[in-house]
Amino acid sequence: MRDAVARLYALIRLFAPAEASPFMSSETEVAIVGGGAAGIAAARRLTDAGVACLLIEARSRLGGRAYTVSHGGYGIDLGCGWLHSAGTNPFVAIAEAQGRTIDKSSPAWSRPALERNFPLVDQRLYQQAMAEYFERLSELATGKIDVLCSAAFEPGNRWNGLIGAVVSYISGGDPSQVSALDFENYGGTDINWRVAEGYGTLIAAHADGVDIALDTIVERIDHSGATLRIETNRGTIAAKHVIVTLPTDIIGARAELFFPLLPQKTEAAAGLPLGLADKLYLTLDNPEEFGRDTRVFGLTDSKDTASYTIRPQGRPQIEGYFGDGLADELERGGIHAFVDFAVGQLAGMLGNDFKKRVSLLDMHLWRADPFARGSYSFALPGKVNCRQALAAPIDGRLFFAGEACSKSDFSTAHGAYLTGLAAAEQILAARV
């Protein structure tokens, strides 16, 4: 695994932008590693408080796993799309301040699915089985020993496949890997909104006016001396404090990221692997046949199925959602493997002629992305405390943030934001 990651980094260096020039200024008070929701939250707070800080980002764009692309005037979220727990989500106020259009219509998953391959009577049975599964899961999570989410399946239940698929969409992991206690610790509410211009657009714009170094890959954080040295492909930045917001699969696989090593961080990150969720967007001709935000499962009796939203936000598109093992397998075949799979499932339900009405719009492969290595974190059984261990500061100089550091809002953009803000507050408190 380590060798593979080292090879990957060698490749990344090879393809790093040719114009990667040295820094104008190589000193700052706070170096923030990673320009996703967590890093942006920290940088915004520190900048507003008048603290010199530099947001260091490997990509040529900000946002990380928040990533909006534009097609036909629509902002399309290839990463996070839902303002989960919208009643308390801090990005709602930020969206309002930015003058964004918030879509408060209910998500496809809270509406009945298309009946074509899923009669209403079966949908009710499935909902009932799902509610009972979650009750058993809650019960198991109160036990002394942490167990797997798969322990809550009722042997032989006809809906286990579909429940497993939904657990993989939520956690990114297979129920046979995910800690029941961690799953239960998630504190989301049922209020979920979207932002028409894109969640990624909103998050990246929150960094307006912040000092940013794009195309800058952090290779090592040297904390051996009185001054921290952040070594990058564009030179070394000296700092008094650092906030590390890298995804767990990057921290966990690269012990040498820290010098001297910080085994407690490497181990904590390894206990919180990134699950996989991938979103495929197709265009849809003559969409009016379907109501907006219509949900369809490709299969209702298997875990290896995608879930589709036809006409998301009323747009002439289909959004396919692929979780865990299925997404991992399809990533090996590239984007066209997803298209073939999705078109096959949709045509199986809606007839062969449906194939002529859809074509690829866009997609991002999150596992193959060297700066993400997956979609969102889940805890392995017995590893729930790794979230706290990852978030704990070291020496009053090294701070940690990112979605995986949140005890109850992990796997979300607003959870990442709150951890970034908390790290910035810790630094501000230490300065007075």
Ligand X SMILES: Cc1cc2nc3c(=O)[nH]c(=O)nc-3n(C[C@H](O)[C@H](O)[C@H](O)COP(=O)(O)OP(=O)(O)OC[C@H]3O[C@@H](n4cnc5c(N)ncnc54)[C@H](O)[C@@H]3O)c2cc1C
Return residues touching ligand X (CB under 6 A): 33-39, 56-59, 64-66, 79-82, 84, 217-218, 245-247, 250, 277-279, 366, 371-372, 375-376, 402-403, 411-414, 416
* Residue closer to ligand X, measured from CB, 179 or 192: 192
243 with 416: CB under 8 angstroms?
no
Tell me the C-alpha distance between 54 and 307, whole Å: 40
* Residue closer to ligand X, measured from CB, 54 or 181: 54
Give the number of C-alpha atoms closer than 13 A to the C-alpha of residue 265, restricted to the C-beta side. 25
Please report how close the Cβ of residue 153 comes to ligand X at its closest, in angstroms.
Answer: 25
Please report how close the Cβ of residue 328 comes to ligand X at its closest, in angstroms.
Answer: 13
Please report how close the Cβ of residue 419 comes to ligand X at its closest, in angstroms.
Answer: 7
**Closest C-alpha to 146, from 137, 155, 157:** 137
* Residue closer to ligand X, measured from CB, 58 or 346: 58
* Residue closer to ligand X, measured from CB, 118 or 400: 400
Please report how close the Cβ of residue 121 comes to ligand X at its closest, in angstroms.
Answer: 30
* Residue closer to ligand X, measured from CB, 206 or 357: 206
* Residue closer to ligand X, measured from CB, 140 or 178: 178
**Helix/strand/coil percent split, the chain, to 5:** 40, 20, 40
End-to-end CA distance of the chain: 43
**Closest C-alpha to 339, from 365, 359, 364:** 359
Tell me the C-alpha distance between 137 and 319, whole Å: 29
3-state SS assignment for residue 80? coil
Please report how close the Cβ of residue 209 comes to ligand X at its closest, in angstroms.
Answer: 18
Instruction: Please state the three-class secondary structure of 286-316 as a single string.
Output: CHHHCCCCEEEECCCCCCCCCEEEECHHHCC
Please report how close the Cβ of residue 258 comes to ligand X at its closest, in angstroms.
Answer: 12
**Closest C-alpha to 430, from 240, 211, 264, 266:** 240
